[in-house]
Structure 1
Amino acid sequence: MAIELKMPALSPTMEEGTLAKWLVKEGDAVKAGDLLAEIETDKATMEFEAVDEGTIAGILVAEGTDGVKVGTVIAMIAEEGEDASSASAPKAAAKEDAPKPAEAPKVEAKSADAPAPASAPAPAPAASGDRVKASPLARRIAAEKGIDLGALAGSGPNGRIVKADLDGAKAGEAPAKAAAPAVEAPVAAAAAAPAPAKVWWDESIPHEVEKLSNIRKTIARRLTESKQTVPHIYLTVDIRLDALLKLRADLNKALESRGVKLSVNDLLIKALGVALEATPKCNVTFTGDNLVSYRRADVSVAVSTPTGLITPIIRDAANASPSSISTQMKELAGRAKEGKLKPEEYQGGTASLSNMGMFGIKQFEAVINPPQGMIMAIGAGEKRPYVIDDALAIATVMSATGSFDHRAIDGADGAELMKVFKELVEAPLGMIA
């Protein structure tokens, strides 16, 4: 059955937007995560990704169309094995209901005896009758600056005014227009020339442009997918670290002859593994139609590298010894920074841990790493006033925040995991016994 691709809501308040540009064409094969289009709202232009795989059977809303309501069918995707022509059957009817972009002025064909024009006419203001064609963002900027949109020429699709057309304009006037260069070829041929690439930054500021690495592209795609498709719920607890720090010191003294030195992070990885096995409702993956429950806790650990963030995995963290976790992490982190990890060493995992305490960050909310169901964000351990045995004292305390996929994990289940994690860190002998 054909899949309807609908205009997405890119913010909680979005009701409609402009389909600024299609990044695919009819007949293209797409898979989850592929970029399909650029959608413009009154605040920003954002890329829209595919969540299903198949073939683009029909594009129902042309690029440059303003006022496309959220939920409008903008394209059809044929699933594997489906006839693309039959999948695009609703195309004509859908196009009748979709907003239509204003037609571009037609260029009448000249007879062979007619002389070629000496020059192309200057762009006309982007108006159609009493209506000015402009993007929502351009309208907002014009209103703030008091710029008359009717006096501007648009460089966007079908003559639509975009943000770049307002650069340099002052209240009550339009930016100066350069005279159109002489054109010896017919006007229709000139109109077919590709438009210059859109620049998304201020070129007047000294800058450098660096091509994104494949890792950075993957990070951008996956985190965008996570924030757009996964409803996050955040739960935070304060945890006393004094017992864990004492245990770490004792273990390091015993392990000194073996050349092993445990970090606090090594013990927190262990604690998260044990907590996940103790609360199996949080050790899950949501797939849309099914919920996958794991019988083993494989903890992905965020590691910063010169090319971006990567998450090597400690397999079966609940049953691994702290010394084994420490040895594995040093070896995996070293190869991660050299770009030598194997795919199976960073792909997968059932949950993640991200520690920014070494940077002095007190608390933060991490983005879930799909398809995992949760991630634990660790803040810095610091001396704080703390009530111990009904008396105010000074203790070493850290804040830990769990981000949970609310489609799969209820708040009460997430709270149970946070409770178990806190108890294990505050009484750490229980997790290594």
Structure 2
Amino acid sequence: MTEALVLLSMFLLIAAGLPIAVSILASALIGVWLLNGHLGFLNAALSLFDGATSFPLIAIPLFILAGALMNTGGISTRLIAFVSALIGFVRGGLAMVNVGVSLFFAEISGSAVADVAATGSVLIPAMKRKGYSPRFAAALTSSTASLAIIIPPSIPMILYGALSNTSIVQLFVAGIVPGLLGASLLMGMCYYFAIRYDLPREESFSLCRLWHATREAAWALMLPVIILGGIFGGIVTATEGAGIAVLAALSIGLLVYRELNLRKLYAALIDGVLQTSVVMLLVASSAVLGLYLTETQMPQKLAAGITTLTENPFLVLMIINVFLLFIGMVLHGAAAIILTVPIFMPLVNQLGIDPVHFGILLTLNIALGQQTPPVASVLVTACSIAKTDVWETTKTNLPFIAVLVFVLLIVTYVPAVPLWLVGVFYGP
């Protein structure tokens, strides 16, 4: 009963408008106090410190900073020009370019919000000028930006891996096939709309234009090769790869493209610090919540309750998916991961569900949560750029959301889709 009251108080505080991290921490401290009195605050303080000092978590601020440097250093615009020259000649080509650019950007930043901020500020106005409706431009840009947390590197995967003691590199590998599948299906949906509504082509294909765009974007295109090649090749850890991403983005912006000056660097650093502080405060708060849940054995009680209904892993995954979809609608991605991982991991381990498989399933649910109001952080960002209403844009976004739901179902019930490459790289 106490556990339910603590969780209820947390949601009430969030609904009242308090910051999510503050709501989680306040509710967890109430629970700790009810269990152990004022002495429980000593363990809570230690948990706060330990929760934010895990080495893998250092990758989060580094990837956030790398994304900010890409936005201000000229890397994003050159990626857009390259993809436009490559596939822009197809009917509805600018919509295809939107998907392709997010695919490239995802391989560097790991953040959907950074993706939509970088690509949306260029592509949404361009799509509006070409005759695309503002709602369509915002919906497509928002949905394609969610590829940034499915394609490696992924900040939600890093967070999940640190909380669940799951290999972050294996999570990255497992995200490749679902990410490429999602990108292909989104492109297919774009082509369907292009034919149905006679969407315009861009400039006709030109080898000269493609060569010029490739030459301009060559350094930007090397970033995914350097980062992911180093991580998958076992040369660097995910955290070290994030450091390389920052160094590479900084060097390219300063020395190669020469668009990154001190003023832009300062703005990128401030942006990175602000985003990092939000995530890390959530992480530290979650450690106290995890302490409380561990002491009350709530995850074990939940696991026992679900297994009394069914021990079929597929039915359990369906129940978890429904819960995660709801949580994703009302909480930001990091908060949703922090709340659900301590609760569900004992059940996942008890039923023999691969933790890497569960991590990809969780990540896809977070991607869907970024598209579904009332929170919908990525969709809201896209709508603010396009100057459209969130709820009206959501209606336009439904076909693209359906694509992400389809990928989620494939990943849930065909584990080989995310785990095949993991088996190839690391064995069964």
Q: TM-score range by the shorter chain?
A: under 0.3
| Structure ranking higher on relative contact order (CA contacts 8 Å, 6+ apart) | 2
**TM-score w.r.t. structure 2 length?**
0.22
TM-score, structure 1 normalization? 0.22
| Rg larger in structure | 1
